[in-house]
Structure 1
Amino acid sequence: MKYLKKVSKLAVIGLMAASLVACGGNKKAETADAAAGDEQVKIGVISYIEQVSLDNAIKGFEDRLKEEGINAQLEVENLQGDNALTTTAPKKFEGDEYKLVYAVATPSAQGAKTALPNKNIIYAAVTDPVEAGLIEAPDKIDHVTGVNDAVSAKTQLESFLKIYPDVKTIGTLYSTSEANSLVQIEDLKKACDELGLKVEIVGINNINDVSQALQTITNKIDAYYALTDNTVASAGPIVAEILLNNNLPSVSAEEGQMSKGLLMSEGVDYYEHGKQAADLAIRILNGEDIKNVHAEDNKKAAKKINEKTAKALGLDLNSENLKDAELVK
C-alpha cells in the first residue's frame, strides 16, 4: 500500500526557483519552508498490519496534512504482522530526505525507535508508550512522541452492561507478541473483577489461530470484549461471524472492529486519532523541537452500533441506553 502524491506544477516551479537561490539557513528553517507548501515533504510510514483501524489512522494523518496545505508524500511500509521486520523495514527511512517517520501500532513504533535513533518519530495506536519503552513520560521526549489509544475497559463494560445486564462472563482473544495487548489484558482483568464478572482469555500466536481459539470459549462466555489488538483486529470479520453464529453480543475498544461486524464500540475513532497525531507532526515540520511536542492521550471517542449486527441479535435500537449512539450500516 503506497500513499505517493505527485508534485503539483506549483510545487515544481517552487522547487526550480529554490534551486536558483544560494543555499543557506539552518535545517529547521528548511523544514518550516517545506511545511508551508514550498516543496514536497517526504514522510515514512510504518504500519504493523493491514487492518481497518490502522489504515484509518494513516488516512486521518494524511488528510490532516492536506488540510494544513502541506504537500506531503507518504511512503508506507506494511509489516504484515511480521515482527522480524520491525527493526529492518524502518531503515528505508533513515535518509535526510525523510523529514520524519509515522509509526502506527506498538511494534512498529518500538522497531522504528530502535532502528532510527536520529530520526523524529510520531507514533499512533499505542496503548501504553511508557510501558512499551517509547517515551520516559508524556512531557519527557527524546526523538519519539505521539498519541496513545488507551481506553478504559471498565468504562466500556459499564456502558455495555446497561444494554446486557445479564452478562456474567466476558471472553477475549489477544496476541501474545503484542505489548499493547498485554497491558489491555491486565486492565480487562481488573475491570471484570471490579464489576463482578468472570473472564475467559485466550492468547494466539498469529491470525491463523483466531478462529479455533474463539471456538474454544464460545460456550463459556455471555459476551465478547475486543481489545485494540492488531492481529485479532485483522481477523475482525471472522470474529464477528463466529460470535453472531453463537448469538453472542460484543463490545470493541475501537470502532474498526465494530465496522467489521462486532456489535458496538465506545472507544477510539482511528481516523480522528490519525489527525491528532498529524497535529503533532505539523508542529515538528514547522520547526518546533520535538522535545517540546509532548505526547498526548486520544481525544475523540464515540458510541457506535453496527445496525446489521444489532438487528441480527434482536437488539432494541430504540432503547434508552442507545439514544446517544450512532448507527453504522
Structure 2
Amino acid sequence: MKKKLVAGLLTGAMMAALLTGCAGSKSDKSSDAKESYTIGIEQFAEHGSLDNCREGFLQGLEEEGIKEGDNLKVETKNAAADMGTAGQISDSFVSDKVDLICAIATPSAQSAYNAAMDAGIPVIYTAVTDPVAAELASEDGTPAGEVTGTSDKLPVEEQLKMIREMLPQAKTIGIMYTTSEANSVSVIKEYEDLVGKYDFELVTKGITTTADVSLAADDLLSKVDCITNLTDNTVVASLPTILEKANDKKIPVFGSEIEQVKIGCLAAEGIDYISLGKQTGKMAAQVLKGEKKASELNFETITTPGFYVNNKVAENLGITVPTDLSDNAVEAFDEITQSK
C-alpha cells in the first residue's frame, strides 16, 4: 500500500510538473513568438518613380513594425514592361502561397489580381492611375475583391496651368502613350477635356512596345511645341531616349514626378512616389496584421501635388522660370543627373 501511495504521489508530482511545463511553454511561446510574413513585390518596369514606390512601400511596412530581415521575407520581381512576364510573376507568387502581393503599376496590379483572386491572396497595389478604369475598384472607390491600394492620378489641370505659365507662346502639347495601358488611356481623356481651357491643341501618339518609342518620338516632336509625360510605364522606361531627341530640337519635356525632373524633364506638377509607397505600405500592414481585409479598404490618393523644376534644363532651353513658380517649388535642381 505504501509503495502504491508513493508511486501515486510521484505520478502526481510528475503530472503536475508536466502540466506546469506545458503551461510555461505555451506562455513563453505566446510572449516570445514573432509573427512573420512572406510577400511578393511585382514591379512592372524599372524606372525611378516605381523604384521609389517600392522603397516607400517597405518603409511604410517598417513603420508599422513589419521589417524585412526581421519578421518579413520579401520576393521582388520585375516584369521589364512585358505583360507576359508579369503574368508569370503573378502565377509564381500564387504558387509560392505568399501572404500578400504588392503590385507596382497598373499592368502588374491587373495581372496580380487576376492570378490571386481565387487563391485568397490579397493584392495591394500602388502607382495605379485609375483603379476604376483598371477594373480594380468600383466608381465609389470600393474594391473589386481582395484588392486595394493607392492611385498616382496626375494633377492634369495643375500641369496644364503650369505649362501655360512657363510657355506663354506654346500652341501644341504632345503626349506619347501605350495603347494597352488603361491608366494612360484614362489620362489622355482628361487631357482632351481640359487642353482647350488653356488654349492648347493636343497631339497624341500611341505605341505598343518599347521598340516603337524612337520612331514615335521623332514623329511627335515634329508636330508639337512641348511634350508632357504621363505615368505611362513603357514611355517612362524609355524617357532618356525621348529627352535626348527633344533636347536636340530644343523642345521642352514636362514630367509627372521628381525623378523625371532630375534626369532632364523641365518641370512637373507631380507627386512624391516615396510618400505614395509609404501610404501603400501602411495599408498592407493593416491587411497582414488582420486588422482589415483588403476588400474593406477603399483605394487612396495623394491629393496635393508639388512643383518640381530643373533650372539647368531651363537654362539649356533658354526658358525663364516664372518667379511665382520657382518661389513655391518643392525642389529645384541645378544639374541633370543620370537616369538609374
Query: Does the pair score TM above 0.5?
Result: yes
Displacement, 1:250? Answer: 2.3
2:312 equivalent among 264, 289, 308:
308
In the alignment, is the contact (CA less than 8 A) between 1:153 and 1:253 conserved in 2? Answer: no
Structure 2 residue aligned with 1:271: 274
Structure 1 residue aligned with 2:296: 292
Structure 1 CA distance, aligned partners of 2:178 and 2:254?
A: 18
Structure 2 residue aligned with 1:216: 219
Q: Give 4+ residue runs of structure 1 displaced > 4 Å after superposition.
A: none
Displacement, 1:197? Answer: 1.1
Displacement, 1:101? Answer: 0.7
Gaps of 5+ in 2: 1-24, 336-340
When the two chains are superposed, the root-mean-square deviation of aligned CA atoms in Å is 2.3
Displacement, 1:254? Answer: 2.6
Displacement, 1:131? Answer: 1.2
Superposition map of 1:246-265 within 5 A: 246-265=249-268
In the alignment, is the contact (CA less than 8 A) between 1:64 and 1:278 conserved in 2? Answer: yes
* Farther off after superposition, 48-57 or 254-263: 254-263
Q: CA offsets, 1:55-98, max 9 Å, x none?
A: 11001101222233312222111111111233332122225752
Matched, 1:327 2:297: no
In the alignment, is the contact (CA less than 8 A) between 1:110 and 1:132 conserved in 2? Answer: yes
Superposition map of 1:1-329 within 5 A: 21=26, 38-71=34-67, 72-94=72-94, 98-117=98-117, 118-136=120-138, 137-140=140-143, 142-287=145-290, 288-299=292-303, 301-317=305-321, 319-325=323-329, 326-328=331-333, 329=335
Structure 2 CA distance, aligned partners of 1:301 and 1:56?
A: 16
Structure 2 CA distance, aligned partners of 1:279 and 1:185?
A: 30
Structure 1 CA distance, aligned partners of 2:277 and 2:104?
A: 9
User: What is the percentage of aligned positions where both structures have the same residue?
Assistant: 33
In the alignment, is the contact (CA less than 8 A) between 1:223 and 1:249 conserved in 2? Answer: yes
**Greater Rg by CA:** 2
Structure 2 CA distance, aligned partners of 1:181 and 1:240?
A: 19
| TM-score normalised by length of structure 2 | 0.82
In the alignment, is the contact (CA less than 8 A) between 2:155 and 2:305 conserved in 1? Answer: no
Structure 2 CA distance, aligned partners of 1:42 and 1:49?
A: 22
Q: CA offsets, 1:162-212, max 9 Å, x none?
A: 121111100111111211111111111112133221111111121122121
Structure 1 CA distance, aligned partners of 2:108 and 2:288?
A: 21
1:171 counterpart letter in structure 2: G
Change (3 A) 1:200 1:64: same
Q: Which has the higher helix share?
A: 2
In the alignment, is the contact (CA less than 8 A) between 1:124 and 1:149 conserved in 2? Answer: yes
Structure 1 CA distance, aligned partners of 2:33 and 2:136?
A: 30
2:258 counterpart letter in structure 1: E
Structure 2 CA distance, aligned partners of 1:209 and 1:252?
A: 20
Structure 2 CA distance, aligned partners of 1:185 and 1:245?
A: 26
* Farther off after superposition, 160-169 or 86-95: 86-95
2:168 partner SS = coil
Structure 2 CA distance, aligned partners of 1:271 and 1:46?
A: 17
2:113 counterpart letter in structure 1: K
| TM-score normalised by length of structure 1 | 0.84
Displacement, 1:292? Answer: 2.2
